[in-house]
Amino acid sequence: FEYSGYDANIGFFSAVPQRGDIVFFDEYIHASIRDGIKLGNAKSYKFKHNDINDLKQKYDAERSRKAGGSPNEMEIYIVTESVFSMDGDSPDLKAFTEFCSENNCRLVVDEAHAVGVFGEKGEGLVQYLGLQNRIFARIVTFGKAVGCHGAAILGSKQLKGYLVNFSR
């Protein structure tokens, strides 16, 4: 497949989170991710930039609101970037990963500004921190540090199969 980062974000976020699911996203997230979320059927809420405590409060409030329903009725996606483009800052990815593991959430990390910069071979910050096997999906682009066109969504075989069949 040949995607741009925009195509990858639109395709992923419009197809994967479903009606009844919830997406919590960093307030400084890429506009293309916001566009993809808007095209999908999941509810979405932003949390303060790189603020896991604000995320936890919003998560707890939403879980309390949904307390009558079964926890298995919905998937919860947490979306952040490994390196934010405007300030060059990063969230505490280890803390976000722990939170997602403890609460059965799916962590999605956009690595557009980390690939080619972090890691021994430029694999990105997630790989550099050794978290790659604990992340639901990573979105990487090749137009920045790699200097060519394209993007990829990294995840499980099941996720890849789903995207091939349902992502635009």
Query: Does the pLDDT at position 118 exceed 60?
Result: yes
Question: Which of 29-38, 109-118, 141-150 has the least mean pLDDT?
Answer: 141-150
Tell me what the mean pLDDT of segment 7-20 comes to: 94
**Most confidently predicted of 4-8, 50-54, 73-77:** 50-54
67-74: Cβ within 8 A, 24+ apart: 71/104, 73/20, 74/20, 74/21, 74/22
| pLDDT attached to residue 146 | 62
> Ramachandran region of residue 154, left (φ > 0), alpha (ψ -120 to 50) or beta?
beta
93's enclosing H/E stretch is helix 93-103
Give the Cα separation of 117 and 150 in Å (integer).
17
Task: Give me the pLDDT at residue 68, please.
Answer: 57
Average pLDDT over residues 14-28: 96
Q: What is the mean pLDDT of residues 48-76?
A: 85
How many CB atoms are located within 10 Å of the residue 60 CB?
11
pLDDT at residue 1 greater than cutoff 70: no
The residue-averaged pLDDT of 135-156 equals 81
Give me the chain's average pLDDT, please.
89
Pick the more confident residue, 152 or 148. 152
pLDDT score for 75: 94
Please check the confidence at residue 111 and state whether its pLDDT lies above 80.
Answer: yes
Cβ burial of 79 (10 Å; 0-12, 13-18, 19+) is buried
How large is the average pLDDT for residues 56-64?
Answer: 93
Local confidence band at 49 (pLDDT 50, 70, 90 cut-offs): very high
Q: According to the model, what pLDDT value does residue 126 have?
A: 86
Q: What is the pTM of this model?
A: 0.91
Q: What is the DSSP string of 103-134?
A: HT-EEEEE-TTTTTTSSTTS--HHHHTT-GGG
